[in-house]
Structure 1
Amino acid sequence: MKKLTLSFITLALAGVSNAAFADTLRMECPISPGGKEYCKYVKDRFEKQTSNKLEFIEFPAASDEKLALLQQLFAAKDEKAVDLFQSDTIWVGLLDKQTLDLTDAVGDMKGDFFPGPWANDTVNGKVKAVPAYLDTGVLYYRKDLLEKYNEQPPKTWEELTRIATKIQEEERKAGHKNFWGMIFQGKSYEGLTCNALEWIDSYGGGTFIDEKGNVTVNNPKAAAALDMVAGWMGKITPKGALGYKEEESRAVFQNGDALFMRNWPYAYLLSQGADSPLKGKVGVAPLPAGPDGKSANALGGWQWSVNANTKNKDAAIALLKILTDADSQKMQLKYLGFAPTRSALYEDKAVLETAPHLTMFKDIFANAVPRPATATKSQYPRVSNAIFNVTFKVLNGSSDGKTAVADLQKRLERVKGKDWH
């Protein structure tokens, strides 16, 4: 078995004597480009505003390895290993017992953040994390081709299907034989759970499991949503999409071989790179709505959590407030390119000068829908596994929507047992 270990980072801070510090905190430093510069900014602020010292650690880059290491540290009750760390969106419920209850410390900040991420970070009425940066599913489209064929970005899935069918046919007539109307992440993995959530919730079929922990997926609207997507396969969506994750989808779209793509915000800046065939040709919109006019965009991103075993609770909360205030989020965007979680920053002049593309994402972020990870706690991995496997069966033609949602209802109720834990 591979041994997982923490890496420690030393960031020099001139003119500060260690003798002046009361306590030493350890915080995760992002390993992305610009991470060390951002962490030095945080260290400078924290050590000047408090009498404490700040050290940094790095976790493994792979999400599953990071979670495994965190669980090792928590099992050992190692209060010295890390005080603050970033949790994946789907870990907040899973790590409920291992993270500090922040309700009294930060509960009054709720209105400053987008509602979806804040709800995701609240477990049984208690705030267990604060949103660090945002990610949601979005619709990418070819602006040039919609203009060429006198079409507008689709507001509904029905419109998307019609437009994709029309333009795919016309482009193929013009000689682009491998052109497709719509692509997404169809491989049997977590990304398909996100897509399924977006389809089903936009149809009014719910989020598989409601906030109270009730399994709700066995309903006609959820079945209809899955049948809709099954109808795309081999028509406007290549059957090869059953093997697509994010990068496979992006490669097809950025190569110019698709009209519409569902993906995460990271793909926008890549589509506008100097070497991109689509530079200046890509638009971004919320994912289309279902029959009742609702759009749903799956929530991603990361959250700041505090180790429940920390010996320095007050200092850790002070650091958390620094990390999540407006100034820090601006610096996070500058150094790391991470989208802010404070809604007011999407109207901030300095932020929009740094990243004008964020104006396209504000409404999308505001309506982001969490996966049912918080309610299902440690059992979420099994929940997601059931969702993407059942959805995959519909997409590959071995099941239909009605059969699939009935099957999924039974699977999720078996996972739940008497209650989620």
Structure 2
Amino acid sequence: MFSYRQVRRGLAALALMWAAGAASGTEITIACGSVGTDIEVCRKLMDEWSAKTGNKVRIFLTPNSTTDQLALYRQQFGAHSGEVDVLMVDIVWPGIIKEHLLDLTPYAQGVQRQHFAAIIANNTVGGKLLAMPWFTDAGLLFYRKDLLEKYHEKVPATWEELAATAQRIQDAERRAGKRDLYGYVFEGKAYEGLSCNALEWIASYGGGTVVEPDGRISIDNARAAQALDMAARWPGTIAPKNVVSFAEEEARSVFQGGNAVFMRNWSYVWDLAQQGDSKIKGAVGMAALPRGEGGKSVSTLGGWQLAVSKYSKHPAEAADLVMFLTSKEMQKKRALLAGSLPTYPALYSDQQLLRAAPYMAQLSTAFASATARPSTVTADKYNAVSSALWNAAQATLAGRASGAQSVHQLEKELRRVRRGAAW
């Protein structure tokens, strides 16, 4: 038998243990990016949440490739692993991994109405808000202002003009001793980034969006084939032969190292190109991507969201972290720190932000022409659709197939993926 005094002492000890545990806070694990300054910026913002809540945050490192990231997430979902509480998810993923994400509607408390409506619609599946927008993006053309001025060239308006300008400057600079300079670099590796590039080429030529919003597979057409044939002329001429192994960071490394005239990439590159260790600081321009022959400029809509794993052991704390990081205040800080593009329309008229990031005013054309990947209509089959697209595009880039052969084979593959009259 325990005495009353012993019971009181035991309860007091338990209370002290509980208090010590509460004081130490809950530990939340977040996967919040892997390119550029993602981790550094994420840590700064998370420190503010930790100071506010007393909770701890641990960063989970993910692969650079978005394809590899999704594969890793799926492995964890398959094991019902709660190792990662908060996930950074690509704009095309909510529909793909919908059954593994927590509905954030109760935690958002209406703040989702302050974001761009199209992004919220993208993140809402079956009436559930599965992710909160963190920053948005679109494919952009970066160029060397100094080299264009040196050779009296304009920013190219068409892909044909880009190729001609890139070739001229590349040849002239190499004759002057700059043997490592290339005219153009882009994401040519067989992964999601190449799907984005290919969609931009095809749509800019009037070749459709591979799978149309009504579900129709439209890729087998002459304009789409022409677009792929156009891009196939770049590797080994204005682009390195190994551009077919480039993801975002490989392309940035070449461009920021002063070894390319033009580059296609996302907006995060701008801030990094202005850093003190950049060889092209102050010499970079940014514009909408060129248009295709007889077509228009098209950028693939990008951007990242934050979501909570359904298997998190701390869903309330994880959701609170998501709402904190995606708040207007934190998105503004992230824009100032990393040059990322906010998902709150109101921030695009914020004078402090515009003074610090004047390039934002140049992006209206790119966003006006942005096209979404066919992820909504193809839902959980999107990854197979994108994989088929990037493989077809790389087959053309590598010279294994003509544009016409690639789009014909791609249409057959997409019909196999669909396996029926509708997605």
**Aligned partners of 1:27 and 1:54 also within 8 Å:** no
**2:160 paired residue among 135, 158, 161:** 158
Could you tell me how far 1:174 is from its partner in structure 2? 4.1
Alignment: residue pair count: 397
**Aligned partners of 1:117 and 1:370 also within 8 Å:** no
**1:37 paired residue among 22, 44, 52:** 44
The AA in structure 1 aligned to 2:343 is T
Mapped partners of 2:359, 2:91: distance in 1: 23
Could you tell me how far 1:288 is from its partner in structure 2? 1.0
The within-5 A match list for 1:41-56 is 41-43=48-50, 47=53, 56=57
Mapped partners of 2:111, 2:216: distance in 1: 29
Unaligned segments of structure 1, at least 5 residues: 1-16, 48-52
Mapped partners of 1:323, 1:138: distance in 2: 25
Mapped partners of 1:307, 1:369: distance in 2: 28
Partner of 1:389: 391
Could you tell me how far 1:334 is from its partner in structure 2? 4.9
The AA in structure 2 aligned to 1:418 is G
Classify 1:255/1:39 alpha carbon distance in 2 versus 1 (closer, same or farther; 3 Å): closer
Classify 1:76/1:285 alpha carbon distance in 2 versus 1 (closer, same or farther; 3 Å): same
Mapped partners of 1:235, 1:72: distance in 2: 40
Question: Could you say what the CA RMSD is over the residues aligned between the two structures, in angstroms?
Answer: 3.7
Partner of 1:260: 262
Larger radius of gyration: 2
Q: TM-score w.r.t. structure 1 length? A: 0.78
The within-5 A match list for 1:98-247 is 98-101=100-103, 112-114=114-116, 117-123=119-125, 127-247=129-249
Pair 1:370 & 2:377 matched? no
The AA in structure 1 aligned to 2:57 is F
Partner of 2:414: 412
Instruction: Between 343-352 and 106-115, report the one with greater CA deviation.
Output: 106-115
**Aligned partners of 1:95 and 1:377 also within 8 Å:** no
Residue aligned with 2:234, SS: coil
The within-5 A match list for 1:14-25 is none
**Aligned partners of 2:228 and 2:396 also within 8 Å:** yes
Classify 1:30/1:315 alpha carbon distance in 2 versus 1 (closer, same or farther; 3 Å): closer
Classify 1:312/1:291 alpha carbon distance in 2 versus 1 (closer, same or farther; 3 Å): same
**Aligned partners of 1:33 and 1:336 also within 8 Å:** no
Could you tell me how far 1:335 is from its partner in structure 2? 5.7
Mapped partners of 2:105, 2:338: distance in 1: 28
Unaligned segments of structure 2, at least 5 residues: 1-18, 34-38
Q: TM-score w.r.t. structure 2 length? A: 0.78
Residue aligned with 2:300, SS: strand
The AA in structure 1 aligned to 2:296 is K
Mapped partners of 1:68, 1:187: distance in 2: 17
Aligned sequence identity (%):
41
Classify 1:294/1:124 alpha carbon distance in 2 versus 1 (closer, same or farther; 3 Å): farther
Residue aligned with 2:142, SS: strand
The AA in structure 2 aligned to 1:193 is S
Mapped partners of 1:363, 1:248: distance in 2: 26
The AA in structure 2 aligned to 1:88 is D
Pair 1:344 & 2:350 matched? no
Could you tell me how far 1:226 is from its partner in structure 2? 0.7
Deviations 1:132-175 (A, max 9, x none): 12343211111112222222212222322332233334434545
**Aligned partners of 2:267 and 2:340 also within 8 Å:** no
The AA in structure 1 aligned to 2:396 is V
